[in-house]
Structure 1
Amino acid sequence: MYGNLLKEERLLKIIKMKKTINYSWILSMLFVLVVIPVSCSKESAKENPQPETNLPIKISGIHANIDTKTTLDGVVTSWVANTDIVGIYSPQARMAPGGGGPTIVNTQFFAATSALSTFFVGTMFWGAANTSHTFYAYYPYAAGSPASTAVPVSLPAAQTQSAANSTAHIGALDFLVATPVTVTSPNNTNPVADEVNLKYNHLFTVLEFQIKGTGQLKAVKLSANNTLAFSGGTINITQATPAANVAYTFASQTGKSNEAVVTLTTPATLTATNTDTKVYMVINPGTPTGDCLVELSVDGTNWTYLLKSAPVGGFKRGIKYVVSVDASSASTLGAGEVISVTGRIWMDRNLGASRVATSIDDADAYGDLYQWGRLTDGHQLRTSSSTGDLLGTINPGHANFIYNPSSPYNWFNTIDNSLWQGTSGINNPCPSGFRLPTETEWNNERSTWATYNSAGAFASPLKLPAAGYRNGANAIFVNIGEGGHYWSSNVASSSARHLLLLHFDASFANLYRANGLSVRCIKD
């Protein structure tokens, strides 16, 4: 199941201004179309001089050190006229001539033509003569007037590709930030100012899955223990451009996900040749530890899986990586099973749940609440009655939840640490071949989550809901929809260890065994 290292593809290629373009760096030409009535004669110019602040700013791109730039072959899309828009900022430049009007805050510049290389159209003037002007820019344009230190940015976990080998969807996922440029405004009466050169840099990473095998392919999923996608965030585009391939720093990221999925609108038919079927995914750069989980689906619902080693040094910004996949070597999960980035197989839902959680507060996915060490005898049902009568046996012989507010705070009057140990545990409630996870196994899973809290737990392949718990002192239900409480097989004196999931934390703690908690089983 373990594949070769993800290969980093670095091909030198001379390019002009492009859009999503050869994914390492990009230059763009922006041009201000403002009519300045000037005479062609020197004498006339002297008689009717243009004040320096009346000069429109002409912005264009140049190819700096083209022979040293690493670009990518085969990931090229064109700018689209009047559709592709960049946002420009300048604290010194103005929207009106003569130093008038507001400063430049997220001013739109439109692609003038549909081509790999194009001028952009917008309006911007020098604010004052012979003074420093700094320019910041990004793509794609976001409406409104966000501060240059908090430009909106996102990268969806769910991505759609029209058909195998198509790269058309990458443009909508791309995000570029220009290297800040400072120039001195002119001190003469030339009708057009000197050009301001902007070089754009990619934020993200592209993966090219080359897949061979037989049958159909509908979707490809990647999971790793770092953030691959995020639903919202901001970036400070005034920050210094990081070194080549080094990631930008985000001002904020929300809705982090450690998995990304590309769904093919038209399913592909796999062949014996890898390059016949290519699927492209855009991810957030980062350095995962351990293996990456690659999953394949013929219908978007049922998955096979294999593990791939992450590239040395992680996924770098502005680089395309080729991931070779042999679908015939993928393993199949059993019904009701899910695999995590750790390579461990778990049940895909809590014991007693009717389905995999669709949200963190999905009541149908909460499942039952077990007292530690007790078998499946009906006490775990949320509708079960309760009693305060303790018994001296590990098999109470009834379906009541047994509460106990005094020592030993257990559901029977002694302590037995062997009840839930391994698949052969006396009262193991899990299906054949499954058991309660140890605290170490829970911690290994937690370490792969994008965030250490209930949101990270739900965003993980385990889809852990906030099912709450049943208080062992009085049988009252607590924290339903607000927190997750999951037993481990580890014990601590008269208590047992559990994983506590809250909106601000995911941690381990002792809890008396009379409490009723969720159980998620792991394959032995």
Structure 2
Amino acid sequence: MRAISAIITLFAILATISCTKERVAGGKGAILRITPGTDIPVKSIVSNSNISEKEIGIQITNSTGTSLYEESVSLENIKLVRPDSDEPWIFKDQSNQPLEIKVYNDNAKIYAFYPYTPSLVTGIGSSAKMDIDIPATQAYEQVSDYLWSCQDKTLPEGGNDINALNSKVYLRLNHALSMVAFVFYKSGYTGDGIITSMEMRSKSATNIFNVNKAGTNDLKMSLSNGGISGGSMVPALSMTDINASIILGTLQETTPTYLFTNKTFYMFLAPINIAQREDIEFVFKIDGEAYTSPLPGTGALKLTPGNASIFTVKLSPNSLKITGVADWNLVSYEVSSGYEDLWYGMKPVEIGNLLWAPVNVGYDPVNNPYGLMFQWHRKYGQCYNEFPNPISVQGPVTIELANDVTNRNRFYFNSSGSYDCITPQLSSWDMSVNYNPCPEGWRVPSSAEFQSLISSGYTFDSSGLNNKRGFWFGGYHNTNKEGSVFLPLSGYIGGENTSPTQRNSLGLYWSSDTFSVYAKILQMDQYSVQINSWSRAAGLSIRCVKSL
């Protein structure tokens, strides 16, 4: 018996050694695949349109971010690259040799940074920081568009734990800095219009800008949350060697897409909350002459991470004036290429002769998981009760004012008459670019298309997509949800009093059709789904469609 017991023990030891050896050798587990992308509403120098050309730094840690995954030093500050636009992303070590990385039963966590400069990164996971460079006086394009990521799920919002069962990750990269950009245009000015330098400063000489520390710079970006630490506070930022030409003679549009595409130059700076924007002024040197312009408006100016504030600047023969600002981060998403650019890797759903977007317009998995709320026939939506809060303004107003990007965060309430935010009232929703809240090629559905969606079948789910209450429509809506689209009970903003209400209890979605002074909607509560009509001044959800 003693001999048999010894043999059993020996087999157990050998089995343990065999399993351990196989795990170390990579015989088990699944290959880790990461596809990076940037936040959808944000347009910057690094975005989904060019991220395939970039090299991304990666750290793979345990689920708590306290040590490298599997204690493997080979997973610290490796490189994520895409050899070609039609090939998958691959890993390379710091010597530029290809790596195959596997994940096992233990959950992993991904940290990322851009630009790929491993020598500037210290620490592991939750303690990792990257040295960054923001001089008080900087040459044009000297400051990088710094990116970071910290993600323990396969999707930025929702998804599954990262392990051998879920080894494909869509990694969202976040912008750590804010951008100010300028679109110059001439009004009667006949000079060359060459901009050589710019200064952004506090008129009261308040130290509000965070820049490199003199001597040994300690300005850093956290890989956990993108927070900027260290540095020194100064009252002004300067940019030299701009050498940009003013080409535009007029502004053909004031949409952020047009403005960003036609920006004259830009500057990155650390995020900042300026209590009084009237304390800020700009000094531009153009054709050898210095022009000073205050920042128009009153109240706080919040330059948040990933936000692009685009200033329009008119140069006249004897003066210069900042005429407006477009806040890029607050505008509905724009299209670059591919569905990953629109909906964080989620695909549209084909039901009948339509493609249905997988989420509502303005969806952001962190800041706006239900999407934005839109008044009828407005291109720009407002937040339900998230930052920034909409500004309540008595309506109705003209269609031009309602769809002007500078009024994007205004909510035009109306408690009488037509109960509409726009006057005169319109018979249908114009889907041209100036009024369409959907991406290019997509539109607001008709009430008949909503009726067809209802006819495709539906099931209520108290913990649906991203754990939200709502309904699955079409496909196998009552089983595995294959071929189904989910619409959450997003609530709405009252058109008479601008109060957000009924989130998780009621879902209201605009159609493009009208009924008398009202507009037709898809209405859902836990017990029913139907076509109804609603006051056009209310803020409701929008789910876009595309005809096949």
Q: Same fold (TM over 0.5)?
A: no
TM-score by length of 1: 0.40
Who wins on radius of gyration, i.e. which is larger?
A: 1
TM-score (norm 2): 0.39
Higher relative contact order (Cα pairs below 8 Å, separated by 6+ residues): 1
